[in-house]
């Protein structure tokens, strides 16, 4: 293990055209996402597109991210171990969304606590640190 | 050490005769060292200083509580005292004590590597720690903090009138020290194992540190940015937790405990790693259920991230979520229990030698069981409504943190002292010290369970409303005194042993493991003369082994039929 | 096309390692595990954003009109280009074309500065309009007072808190990136032996792509899809 004497190809040099292709794809996606957003905003004739727009924008963001991670950051060409650590953070981050459960359920409870929007922001006087 | 050799050979003989301590005596050589063993020693000295600072603060708190009306501190000062105690002990002692000292020293030795993967990063992590600690100390001497170690908003972000920002900066920087250590450990464990040292031949100490490192990697940045947000909120009024902006202060608690519950496992997992080594060696038995213990470390690391809500049962958490977290907290006790059962099974039919490290390890078992079981009282929604915010909680976590982590730390320090310094410590003093610490510990924290159950709130300065609590507080304070004496004993004899202790042989305990069998009595800078090849499982002990030399006299009177 | 590791120029093997493959992969895993911490780091802010957006959907939708989509879009293009030039820099480092590597690095740094300049204009506009949360917050925003009058000032401050916290943290990463890339280019320019090993460039590249990655998410979240 420690002496795996053949590295699984990270040392391979990726030819430039591969990168160029990805770069062009990224630019196209970028233009697409802005175009969709502007369309959704201006063209009310198509109805309320904002939810669709959300999905498209996030979908495109994920695609772009995946392209960058896989090709630019070379995860596609790397060992399993590198792949594992490359994705661990993203997987674990999604755990944080468990917190969301709290806020979601609280809506139905007697004590909603925080969920009302304060009508105004009469700022309470802060204690200025150090005074 | 004079060599009457030809100049040409001098370099070689240097390599052979000088160990990592004697290669260079200058102070500078210590402060810019990249040797993991020297860095471990730097950490050892540093964390002990912080342990002392934290203990002094605890002393003030305990003394103050001997009277229902307080002894001599202002209420404000009292708050700063217990915060100082908590912050220093957790951020600057417990979180680093075992990984950065014993882990740093032993990981490369145990896996047959010449050093950690990134020695410079390791040194950097020490200086980050020192830097963070200096911020912490500056905050202390310039007035201290009064928010408790948990820094709850909006107290910390708006109302508190103390050195919150400085302390947060310190914790933030120290966090990055942990992270760099964790990165180093992960890479080292994955990539630097000696030939033949497969995952299931690794000592469980290594597994424990791997799990710990993963927790640090996934958790520490969360708390770092959360604390940074509080600091930014104080300084620039850019507030994500501000109720006046429609924000939720409880979100802070979510974020904080998302890290800080796993953080308790950062403190206990390495301790469990130490216990494996010590128990296997002094019961001359293979660890029972090796794979279960290894897997339970990883299970704890993963499940530990799913229970943070049990700190928020009364913080306006939704019922459903509270129920979920209660259930998960019960579940997380299972892997901990697996370990305890497996250790007990390892002792069974073993050849038990009660040396000082073993005494600490057995102490650990008992204390951790009490601490863990009372954790279940806290996880149960109905009981926790009553117990939360009382001294019961204080007692719970001291049983796991002091009774668990510190006992294991002491076990480890004694066990590997011969390897670290090349000297033997006095066995009888060792056991006396252990007994005093053990009894002092119970005296201090057992009364806290009772008084907490009776309703004494934690972090309160006065309890004139219930003067009948005084007896428990007085007992506890007396216990703290005993504990303090107990802690001083090892410090004294260990320091004396540096000069007067007998020279340690290469393997004083007749123990298994690369660090004992393949390394000099005191390791050389590059640890191994040649990289070892491993072809046997870990803990290849047998009760027919030669007894540990130093321990022969102290064997428990278990007689096995001789054949 | 594929070269073998052995042909990739001189790589010094440090004494704690057995061979070059072990060292290279150690570097990679180390860097990636560091990036795991960065993901969690930004994750906290991202989660806070999602939470408050969910809580104040319609308000956030209205407020986001104060941000300039075009500036955001230009910045996205700039960062994507810098990522592209960064991979080229790594490529040239691998095949030991030092001067090409240097120009690619300088281009990357140029992009980073371009990004910061545009951010500077965005920030200074917001600051002048009094959109920094705190006691001096001006609401309804001067840019579009009628529309913004429906939105409580508290929520607007939350939006801008998140905006400044997230883009600010990202900006700090860009600045750090400039410092690191600058040092690297300087060493490449001086033909220092420290950077002969292409892994150094590769790892700095990973960091830089991560900075790009964060922006790939920040851009739609703040500028494009606030409902
Ligand atoms: C056996 C598994 C464990 C369970 C089920 C458990 C459960 C709990 C629960 C439910 C609480 C919250 C009580 C409250 O505030 O109302 C708590 C507090 C605490 N636990 Fe544990 N625990 C366990 C193990 C540990 C370990 C191993 C450590 C440390 C090494 C630890 C350290 C702490 C600390 C520091 C607190 C108090 C935090 C504070 O509010 O300041 N626990 N525990
Ligand atoms: Cu907990």
Q: pLDDT tens for residues C162-171? A: 999 999 999 9
Q: What is the pLDDT of residue B405?
A: 94
Residue B375 CB–ligand 1 contact under 6 Å: yes
**ipTM score of the complex?**
0.90
| Assigned domain for C85 exists | yes
- Chain C partners within 8 Å of A74 (Cβ): 202
Q: Do residues B319 and B374 make contact, with C-beta atoms less than 8 angstroms apart? A: no
Q: How far is the CA of B311 from the centre of ligand 1 (A)?
A: 8
Q: Which two tokens stand for residue B300?
A: 């704890």
- pLDDT tens string A72-103: 998 888 888 989 998 888 888 888 888 888 88
| Assigned domain for C116 exists | yes
Q: What kind of fold does domain B35-544 have according to CATH?
A: Cytochrome C Oxidase; Chain A (1.20.210)
| Assigned domain for A89 exists | no
| Assigned domain for C206 exists | yes
* Distance separating alpha carbons of residues C91 and C75, to the nearest angstrom: 24
Q: CB C83 to CB A68 under 8 A? A: yes
Residues 160-199 on C with a CB inside 8 Å of A are none
| Assigned domain for A69 exists | yes
Residue B306 CB–ligand 1 contact under 6 Å: no
Please, which pLDDT band fits residue C3 given cuts at 50, 70 and 90? very low
Q: What is the pLDDT of residue B8?
A: 40
Q: Which chains touch A (3 or more CB pairs under 8 A)?
A: B, C
Q: Looking at the 3D structure of chain C, how many domains does it have?
A: 1
Q: Which two tokens stand for residue B38?
A: 């020297």
What is the DSSP secondary structure assignment for residue C197, as one 8-state letter? S
Residue B397 CB–ligand 1 contact under 6 Å: yes
What residues pair up with B555 in beta bridges, in sequence order?
B353
Quote the domain boundaries for residue C130.
20-223
| Assigned domain for A113 exists | no
Residue B311 CB–ligand 1 contact under 6 Å: yes
For ligand 1, atom 35, which residue shows the shortest CA distance?
A: B397
Please, which pLDDT band fits residue A131 given cuts at 50, 70 and 90? very low
| Residue among C120, C92, C94, C122 at smallest CA distance from C106 | C92
- pLDDT tens string A20-66: 999 999 999 999 999 888 887 776 655 566 778 888 889 999 999 99
Nearest CB to B247; choose among C16, C158, C169:
C158
- Chain C partners within 8 Å of B118 (Cβ): 26, 30
For ligand 1, atom 36, which residue shows the shortest CA distance?
A: B397
Mutate to test the pocket of ligand 1, among B396, B406, B407 (most ligand atoms within 8 A of CB): B396
Residues 199-218 on B with a CB inside 8 Å of A are 217-218
Residue B263 CB–ligand 1 contact under 6 Å: no
User: B38-52, B549-563, C26-40, C100-114: which range is least confident on average?
Assistant: B549-563
Q: What is the pLDDT of residue B350?
A: 86
Residue B334 CB–ligand 1 contact under 6 Å: no
Cβ-Cβ contacts under 8 Å for C215 (sequence gap 6 or more): C75, C76, C79, C170
For ligand 1, atom 6, which residue shows the shortest CA distance?
A: B375
| Assigned domain for A85 exists | no
Q: What is the pLDDT of residue A45?
A: 57
Q: What is the pLDDT of residue B546?
A: 76
| Assigned domain for C7 exists | no
Low-confidence ranges of chain B (pLDDT < 50): 1-15, 557-563
- Please list the helix, strand and coil fractions of chain B in percent, rounded to the nearest 5, in that order: 70, 0, 30
Q: Does C25 touch chain A (CB under 8 A)?
A: yes
* Distance separating alpha carbons of residues B168 and B232, to the nearest angstrom: 10
* Distance separating alpha carbons of residues A108 and A112, to the nearest angstrom: 7
Q: What is the pLDDT of residue B551?
A: 59
Atom of ligand 1 nearest to the CA of B387: 16
For ligand 1, atom 14, which residue shows the shortest CA distance?
A: B388
Q: How far is the CA of B310 from the centre of ligand 2 (A)?
A: 6
Atom of ligand 1 nearest to the CA of B394: 37
Q: CB C51 to CB B246 under 8 A? A: no
pTM of the model as a whole: 0.91
SS3 B317: coil
What residues pair up with B390 in beta bridges, in sequence order?
B457
| Assigned domain for A121 exists | no
Cα distances (angstroms) measured from residue B273 to each of B126, B266, C17: 22, 11, 26
Rounded to the nearest 5°, which phi and psi values hold at C191? Answer: 55, 40
Q: Of residues A118 and B225, which shows the higher confidence score?
A: B225
Q: What is the pLDDT of residue A121?
A: 37
- Chain B partners within 8 Å of A101 (Cβ): 318, 320-321, 324
Please, which pLDDT band fits residue A6 given cuts at 50, 70 and 90? very low
Residues 112-131 on A with a CB inside 8 Å of B are 113-114, 117-118, 121-124, 126-127, 129-131
Q: Do residues B312 and B258 make contact, with C-beta atoms less than 8 angstroms apart? A: no
Query: What is the overall mean pLDDT for chain B?
Result: 89
Q: Which residue has the tokens 């410079």?
A: B120
Q: How far is the CA of B533 from the centre of ligand 2 (A)?
A: 41
Mean pLDDT (whole number) for C68-84: 93
Atom of ligand 1 nearest to the CA of B376: 5
Atom of ligand 1 nearest to the CA of B379: 10
- Chain A partners within 8 Å of C206 (Cβ): 73
Q: How far is CA C124 from the centre of its chain?
A: 20
Residue B372 CB–ligand 1 contact under 6 Å: yes
Q: Looking at the 3D structure of chain A, how many domains does it have?
A: 1
C93-117: burial string, b at 16+ Cβ within 10 Å, e else: bbeeeeeebbbbbbbbbebbebbbe
Chain B residue nearest residue C136, CA to CA: B237
- Chain C partners within 8 Å of A66 (Cβ): none
Quote the domain boundaries for residue A25.
6-79
Q: Does C7 touch chain A (CB under 8 A)?
A: no
Q: What is the pLDDT of residue A124?
A: 40
Q: What is the pLDDT of residue B314?
A: 87
Nearest CB to C51; choose among B121, B191, B251:
B251
Atom of ligand 1 nearest to the CA of B384: 16
| Assigned domain for A86 exists | no
Q: What is the CATH number of the domain that holds C150?
A: 1.20.120.80
| Assigned domain for A21 exists | yes
* Long-range CB contacts for residues C92-101, cutoff 8 Å, separation at least 24: C93/C195, C93/C198, C93/C201, C93/C202, C94/A13, C94/C3, C94/C8, C94/C9, C94/C198, C94/C202, C95/A13, C95/C3, C95/C8, C96/C8, C96/C9, C96/C198, C98/C188, C98/C191, C101/C188, C101/C201
Cβ-Cβ contacts under 8 Å for B386 (sequence gap 6 or more): none
B333-364: burial string, b at 16+ Cβ within 10 Å, e else: bebbebbbebbeebbeebbbbbbbbbbbbbbb
Nearest CB to A27; choose among C80, C219, C223:
C80
Residue B163 CB–ligand 1 contact under 6 Å: no
Q: What is the pLDDT of residue C194?
A: 82
For ligand 1, atom 43, which residue shows the shortest CA distance?
A: B375
Q: What is the pLDDT of residue C4?
A: 43
Q: What is the pLDDT of residue A44?
A: 62
| Assigned domain for A53 exists | yes
Q: Does B243 touch chain A (CB under 8 A)?
A: yes
- Before B154, cis peptide (omega within 30)? yes
* Long-range CB contacts for residues C184-191, cutoff 8 Å, separation at least 24: C184/C105, C185/C102, C185/C105, C185/C106, C185/C109, C188/C98, C188/C101, C188/C102, C188/C105, C189/C102, C191/C98
* Distance separating alpha carbons of residues B347 and B362, to the nearest angstrom: 10
* Distance separating alpha carbons of residues B297 and B210, to the nearest angstrom: 9
* Distance separating alpha carbons of residues A53 and A40, to the nearest angstrom: 7
Rounded to the nearest 5°, which phi and psi values hold at A116? Answer: -75, 145
* Distance separating alpha carbons of residues C224 and A31, to the nearest angstrom: 12
Q: How far is the CA of C137 from the centre of ligand 2 (A)?
A: 39
Q: Does A19 touch chain C (CB under 8 A)?
A: yes
Query: What is the overall mean pLDDT for chain C?
Result: 88
Q: Of residues B28 and C88, which shows the higher confidence score?
A: C88
């Amino acid at each position: 293990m420690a002496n795996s004497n053949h590295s699984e190809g990270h040392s391979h040099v990726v030819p430039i055209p591969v990168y160029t292709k990805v770069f062009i794809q990224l630019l196209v996606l970028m233009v697409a996402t802005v175009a969709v957003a502007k369309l959704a905003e201006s063209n009310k004739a198509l109805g309320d597109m904002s939810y669709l727009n959300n999905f498209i924008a996030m979908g495109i963001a994920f695609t772009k991210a995946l392209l960058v991670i896989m090709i630019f950051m070379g995860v596609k060409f790397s060992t399993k171990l590198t792949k594992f650590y490359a994705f661990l953070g993203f997987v674990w981050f999604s755990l944080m969304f468990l917190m969301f459960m709290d806020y979601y359920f609280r809506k139905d409870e007697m004590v909603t606590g925080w969920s009302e929007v304060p009508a105004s922001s009469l700022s309470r006087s802060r204690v200025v640190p150090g005074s | 050490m004079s060599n009457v050799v030809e100049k040409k050979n001098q370099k070689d003989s240097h390599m052979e005769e000088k160990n990592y301590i004697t290669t260079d005596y200058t102070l500078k050589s210590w402060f810019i060292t990249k040797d993991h063993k020297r860095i471990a020693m730097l950490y050892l000295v540093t964390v002990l200083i912080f342990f002392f600072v934290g203990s002094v603060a605890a002393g003030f708190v305990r003394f103050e509580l001997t009277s229902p009306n307080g002894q001599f501190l202002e209420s404000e000062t009292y708050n700063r005292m217990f915060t100082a105690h908590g912050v220093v002990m957790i951020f600057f002692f417990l979180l680093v004590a075992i990984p950065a000292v014993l882990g740093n020293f032993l990981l490369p030795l145990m896996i047959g590597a010449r050093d950690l993967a990134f020695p410079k990063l390791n040194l950097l992590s020490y200086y980050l720690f020192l830097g963070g600690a200096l911020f912490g100390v500056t905050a202390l001497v310039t007035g201290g903090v009064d928010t408790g170690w948990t820094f709850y908003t909006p107290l910390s972000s708006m109302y508190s009138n103390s050195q919150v920002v400085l302390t947060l900066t310190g914790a933030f920087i120290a966090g990055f020290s942990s992270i760099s250590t964790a990165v180093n450990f992960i890479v080292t464990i994955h990539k630097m194992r000696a030939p033949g040292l497969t995952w299931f031949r690794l000592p469980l100490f290594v597994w424990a540190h791997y799990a710990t490192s993963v927790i640090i990697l996934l958790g520490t940045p969360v708390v770092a940015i959360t604390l940074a947000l509080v600091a930014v909120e104080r300084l620039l009024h850019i507030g994500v937790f501000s109720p006046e902006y429609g924000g939720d202060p409880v979100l802070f608690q979510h974020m904080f405990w998302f890290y800080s519950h796993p953080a308790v496992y950062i403190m206990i997992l390495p301790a469990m790693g130490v216990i494996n080594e010590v128990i296997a060696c002094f019961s001359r038995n293979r660890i029972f259920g090796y794979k279960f213990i290894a897997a339970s470390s990883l299970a704890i690391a993963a499940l530990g991230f799913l229970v943070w809500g049990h700190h928020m049962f009364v913080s306006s958490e939704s019922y459903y979520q509270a129920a979920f977290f209660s259930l998960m907290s019960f579940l997380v006790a299972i892997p901990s229990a697996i370990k305890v059962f497996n250790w007990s099974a390892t002792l069974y039919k073993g050849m038990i030698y009660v040396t000082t490290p073993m005494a600490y390890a057995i102490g650990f078992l008992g204390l951790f069981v009490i601490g863990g079981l009372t954790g279940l009282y806290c996880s149960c929604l109905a009981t926790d409504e009553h117990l939360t915010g009382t001294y019961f909680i204080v007692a719970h976590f001291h049983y796991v943190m002091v009774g668990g982590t510190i006992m294991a730390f002491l076990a480890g320090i004694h066990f590997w002292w011969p390897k670290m310094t090349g000297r033997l410590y006095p066995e009888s003093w060792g056991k006396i010290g252990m007994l005093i610490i053990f009894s002092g510990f119970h005296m201090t924290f057992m009364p806290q369970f009772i008084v907490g159950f009776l309703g004494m709130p934690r972090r309160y300065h006065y309890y004139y409303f219930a003067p009948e609590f005084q007896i428990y507080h007085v007992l506890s304070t007396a216990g703290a005194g005993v504990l303090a004496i107990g802690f001083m004993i090892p410090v004294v004899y260990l320091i004396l042993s540096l000069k007067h202790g007998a020279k340690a042989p290469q393997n004083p305990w007749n123990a298994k493991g690369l660090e004992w069998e393949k390394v000099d009595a005191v390791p050389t800078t590059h640890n191994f003369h040649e990289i070892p090849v491993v072809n046997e499982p870990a803990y290849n002990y047998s009760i027919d082994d030669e007894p540990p030399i130093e321990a022969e006299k102290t064997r428990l009177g278990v007689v096995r039929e001789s054949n | 096309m594929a070269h073998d590791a052995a042909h990739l120029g001189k790589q010094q093997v440090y004494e704690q390692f057995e061979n070059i493959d072990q060292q290279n992969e150690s570097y990679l895993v180390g860097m990636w595990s560091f990036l795991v911490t960065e993901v969690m780091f930004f994750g906290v802010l991202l989660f806070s954003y999602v939470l408050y957006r969910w809580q104040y959907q319609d308000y956030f939708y209205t407020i986001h009109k104060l941000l300039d989509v075009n500036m955001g879009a230009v910045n996205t293009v700039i960062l994507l280009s810098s990522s592209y030039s960064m991979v080229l820099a790594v490529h040239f480092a691998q095949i030991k074309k030092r001067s090409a590597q240097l120009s690619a690095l300088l281009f990357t740094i140029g992009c980073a500065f371009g990004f910061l300049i545009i951010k500077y204009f965005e920030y200074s506009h917001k600051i002048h309009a009094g959109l920094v949360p705190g006691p001096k917050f001006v609401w309804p925003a001067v840019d579009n007072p009628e529309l913004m009058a429906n939105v409580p000032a508290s929520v607007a401050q939350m939006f801008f808190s998140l905006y400044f916290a997230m883009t600010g943290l990202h900006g700090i990463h860009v600045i750090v990136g400039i410092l690191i890339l600058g040092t690297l280019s300087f060493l490449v320019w001086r033909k220092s032996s420290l950077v002969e090993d292409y892994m150094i460039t590769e790892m700095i590249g990973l960091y830089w792509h991560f900075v790009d990655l964060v922006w790939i998410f920040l851009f739609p979240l703040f500028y494009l899809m606030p409902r």
